[in-house]
Structure 1
């Protein structure tokens, strides 16, 4: 970021959230509002409010008398978030398939098209790190669109927060930020089942797509 460029606190919040989800800061790293205020062009007090908001969403950890830090990478935490995300996404897609119309199908297909485009580039790239922030955003767009026809606003809001925490853990703890060769056909299977209005197949595809994180995490992360 360019130091000194003024930014609204709401924009600073969105930017810092994106950076946290993309793994720009190390897991467990301590962060202070005065470290980032100049980069965002806002006061230390406004930056602290941004930190507090992110801590409320569990994307930062607030430690009494010790400031803030990025959550540590944890096999247990990743597994818990994965299981909760599967529950929310499977119930959300059940309702979305029931309620979704042709417009929902078109938006989902468009979101998947963008996701395939970026994932194919990642598959052939010698280093995927530059793609991770964009991939994180487009992956979210696909899964959010998948659930967008679900009438429960509470479910969708909860799913978003769990998704964000899950992605932060994945990027911090898994090789290649969680991207695998199989990621592309897994997303295609979710799309196919959703368009065909096959709830069990779509739920099974979601489960298969996400549970891989548990297996990889078992090899790379220690219990916490």
Structure 2
């Protein structure tokens, strides 16, 4: 279906829709994103598609390569470890500020976001990995926890880091089905500490929550690499 509106508006729509597809793992790490193919997929001009991809490159979700176009970011252990370290720092600063200075509207929003998350199934039989609905609710819950920090710049930086880490989680989604981790309990405990205005406890739980996800992803990658090596040795 052809899209209406100005070119910048169409580009933002394409950026948002392609971003959603990236965040749920619809594309493989390093997969090329030809401008013409993106334009056809979203029924827009090549110019609009290129602008949308440039926006995603600025967001750190795709890479722009001279003479080669665009591709999805690669899986990188070094990048993930660095990303996680910075995420812990930024998210914990924002959470501590929210817990110590935000008012009743912040509490209400956090409670509502958690209710939505807790009521949304994490997996759907028709979708690989976590469901898009759960992924969206998960994003909103974590965003609600830090939304009372009082800094737009801090939140913008935090959101960009969140998107990059979401792609890693999506690419290793199967590990979360089998690891036996009680993510729902972690979220409840995090909410309880935040609403109790226990900043130290809330920050401790959030840091552990973020770090545990990265540990699982890295463990999954290490096992997959070992299996590939064993298969090559047998072959």
Same fold (TM over 0.5): yes
CA RMSD of aligned residues (A): 2.0
In the alignment, structure 1 residue 162 sits paired with structure 2 residue 164: no
Mapped to 2, the partners of 1:200 and 1:59 lie a distance apart of 32
Q: Residues 43-101 of structure 1: CA distance to partner in whole angstroms, max 9, x if unpaired?
A: 00110010011011110011111111111112222221111111111100111112211
CA displacement at 1:144 relative to structure 2: 0.9
CA displacement at 1:105 relative to structure 2: 0.5
**Alignment-derived partner of residue 199 in structure 1:** 199
**Alignment-derived partner of residue 221 in structure 1:** 221
In the alignment, structure 1 residue 129 sits paired with structure 2 residue 128: yes
CA displacement at 1:104 relative to structure 2: 0.9
Alignment CA distance shift 1:157-1:105 (3 Å): same
* 8 Å contact from structure 2 (residues 35, 50) kept in 1: yes
* 8 Å contact from structure 1 (residues 171, 177) kept in 2: no
CA displacement at 1:141 relative to structure 2: 0.6
Q: Residues 144-181 of structure 1: CA distance to partner in whole angstroms, max 9, x if unpaired?
A: 11111111111110000000011112212x24275664
CA displacement at 1:13 relative to structure 2: 1.0
CA displacement at 1:127 relative to structure 2: 6.8
Give SS of 2:91's match: helix
Mapped to 1, the partners of 2:106 and 2:159 lie a distance apart of 18
Mapped to 2, the partners of 1:181 and 1:127 lie a distance apart of 22
* 8 Å contact from structure 2 (residues 129, 173) kept in 1: no
Unaligned runs of 5+ in 1: none
Greater RCO, CA 8 A, separation 6+: 1
Radius of gyration: which is bigger? 2
In the alignment, structure 1 residue 6 sits paired with structure 2 residue 9: no
* TM alignment of 1:11-90, pairs within 5 A: 11-90=13-92
CA displacement at 1:221 relative to structure 2: 2.5
Mapped to 1, the partners of 2:88 and 2:129 lie a distance apart of 28
* 8 Å contact from structure 1 (residues 171, 178) kept in 2: no
* TM-score normalised per structure 2: 0.85
CA displacement at 1:139 relative to structure 2: 1.0
Aligned match for 2:114, one of 105, 112, 115: 112
Mapped to 1, the partners of 2:149 and 2:160 lie a distance apart of 16
**Alignment-derived partner of residue 95 in structure 1:** 97
Unaligned runs of 5+ in 2: 5-9, 226-235
Mapped to 1, the partners of 2:139 and 2:69 lie a distance apart of 29
Give SS of 2:29's match: coil
CA displacement at 1:27 relative to structure 2: 1.0
**Alignment-derived partner of residue 183 in structure 1:** 183
**Superposition misfits of 4+ residues, deviation over 4 angstroms:** 125-128, 177-180
Mapped to 2, the partners of 1:151 and 1:178 lie a distance apart of 33
CA displacement at 1:21 relative to structure 2: 0.8
Q: Residues 105-157 of structure 1: CA distance to partner in whole angstroms, max 9, x if unpaired?
A: 11100000111112xx236x667627532222111111111111111111110
